[in-house]
Amino acid sequence: MKLLVALAAVLLLSYRPASVTERPDFERFFTEKKLKGSFLLYDPQRDHYTAYNFERTRQRFLPASTYKILNTLIGLETGILKDENSVMKWDSVKRSNENWNRDHTLETAYKVSCLPCYQELARKIGLKRMQEWVAKTGYGQMDITAENLDKFWVVGTSTISQEEQVDFLRRIHDSKVPFAKKNLAILKKIMLIDESPTAKLYGKTGWAVTSNLNIGWFVGYVEKGDKVYYFATNVESPEPAPDTFIPARRQITEAILKQLGI
């Protein structure tokens, strides 16, 4: 018993939570776009968070289209999708987003955030497999039922925080999730948004409306040389959303990353 107590004490002393730097000055990036929200960056090299509105980064919201990251991995792991060139057929239903009214490959469906494409993927995965893979991955707090299988990430009570988004992305990057490395490599290929000679930007946006509140996401990571930085931005606005809402998710994030030299 004494040995167990001693070991517990050693473990407790050796554990150090990540440090946090609060940046209230980042508020201006949000107010310029007429939005409220929060920003979280994790630097694993220093085990350090940089945050604006840090307490809010622990609040949970619908994941919206950021769930396409995990949905893609489950589709690949179950064999429904083979690679980034897998065809996702249009169901011939005309929708207001013209980008959705055609056949897609996995890569193009991800790039234009084709909701009906991923809804069909969810139906093919099925309730039992979806629940099992989400549980094994430890992704947020998803409420998945037979009734909401093809929309639980955009409506309902499923939630995830910015802190959890960052943790999920880190585990993906470090191959600490229950998916084959080849499938993680395919995901990484389609997640690439932009690159320069010195850095690569990977990510996914999202948008959900709940209780007359628009919730927007931009999550991802930057590879800069041999270093990597994980980020999650969340913005909100009452209905109707301002014209700045859609582009602001990335614009706010990239402005902050540039100011941080990332």
Just list the catalytic residues: 65
- Give, in degrees to the nearest 5, the angle at Cα 28 between 22 and 30: 95
Pairing of strands 60-61, 160-161: antiparallel
User: How many residues does this entry show for the chain?
Assistant: 262
Cα–Cα distance, 67 to 50 (Å, whole number): 24
In sequence order, the 6+-apart residues with CB closer than 8 A to the CB of 53 are: 27, 37, 38, 39
CB 193 within 8 A of CB 203: yes
